[in-house]
């Protein structure tokens, strides 16, 4: 199988990476989104096979045992997320570049695995305070879940220097335009 390229967007949740990734998908036809598997239930109007493959914990553990994942993390306690090898291969077989919206450790894992074929971008929020406000404002998580997300976000901000690029998201429109330029340039070479 001919391997293609990969674009990795990582950040603490609430930093704006999902919005940036969705923007790039509308702008750059070469990109296709890597749909992760997760054991958490759908949020808001999320759709099966579009936002995630929503699977049971049993099925997830079975896929780990069968080595179906390129990487996986227990991102929050008891909640697993992972990238399926067949998902990446499906996208490359379409002649497309894979784009990921993934947590920080998962992103670094993929970067180590794919090296020069991957562009790893860390989306940096203006501050931890802004991040906390954004996560709270989303109103989709319980108080306990929010606390867990805050704690994880604080830890994840320290990983930024390990990425190829740190993209500041102070203003979403500017960040989207910068991301578009970075990705377009990477795909040219």
- With CB under 6 A as the contact rule, the residue among 23, 60, 81, 92 that binds ligand 5GP is 81
Task: Check binding of 73 to ligand 5GP (CB under 6 A).
Answer: yes
Using CB under 6 A as the binding rule, whether residue 106 contacts ligand 5GP is answered as: yes
Which of 6, 7, 60, 101 is in the footprint of ligand 5GP by CB under 6 A? Answer: 101
Among 6, 33, 36, 39, binds ligand 5GP (CB under 6 A): 36
Rounded Cα gap, residues 119 and 51, in angstroms: 22
Q: What token pair was written down for 132?
A: 């906390």
Q: DSSP letter string over 56-88? A: -HHHHHHHHHTT-EEEEEEEETTEEEEEEHHHH
CB of 127 to ligand 5GP, least distance (A): 18
Site string for ligand 5GP, 148-187 (x = CB under 6 A): ----------------------------------------
Among 6, 21, 75, 88, binds ligand 5GP (CB under 6 A): 75
Instruction: Give me the sheet containing 97-102, strands edge to edge.
Output: 31-33, 97-102, 6-10, 118-124, 165-168
Residue 102 near ligand 5GP by CB under 6 A: yes
- E strands present in 125-177: 165-168
83 binds ligand 5GP (CB under 6 A): yes
- Which residue's C-beta sits nearest to ligand 5GP? 106
92 binds ligand 5GP (CB under 6 A): no
106 class by beta-carbon count within 10 Å (0-12 exposed, 13-18 middle, 19+ buried): buried
Q: Is 139 left (phi over 0), alpha (psi -120 to 50) or beta?
A: left
Q: Is the dihedral of CA 146, 151, 154, 160 positive or negative?
A: negative
Exposed, middle or buried by CB within 10 Å (0-12, 13-18, 19+), for 27? middle
Out of 27, 28, 40, 159, which residue is the one contacting ligand 5GP (CB under 6 A)?
A: 40
- Residue 97 as a binder of ligand 5GP (CB under 6 A): the answer is no
- Residues that bind ligand 5GP in the complex, under the rule CB under 6 A: 13, 36, 40, 71, 73, 75, 81-83, 101-103, 106
């Amino acid at each position: 199988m001919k391997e293609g390229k990969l674009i990795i967007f990582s950040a603490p949740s609430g930093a704006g990476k999902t919005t940036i990734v969705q923007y790039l998908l509308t702008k750059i036809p070469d990109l296709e989104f890597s749909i992760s598997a997760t054991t958490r239930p759908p949020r808001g109007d999320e759709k099966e096979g579009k936002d995630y493959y929503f699977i049971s914990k049993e099925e997830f553990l079975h896929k780990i045992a069968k080595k179906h994942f390129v990487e996986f993390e227990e991102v929050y306690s008891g909640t697993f997320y992972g990238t399926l090898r067949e998902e990446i291969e499906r996208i490359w077989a379409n002649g497309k570049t894979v784009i990921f919206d993934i947590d920080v450790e998962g992103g670094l894992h993929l970067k180590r695995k794919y090296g020069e074929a991957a562009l790893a971008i860390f989306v940096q929020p203006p501050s931890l305070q802004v991040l906390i406000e954004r996560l709270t404002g989303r109103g989709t998580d319980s108080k306990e879940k929010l606390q867990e997300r805050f704690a994880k976000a604080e830890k994840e901000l320290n990983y930024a220097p390990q990425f190829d690029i740190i993209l500041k998201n102070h203003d979403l429109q500017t960040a989207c335009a910068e991301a578009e330029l970075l990705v377009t340039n990477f795909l040219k070479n």
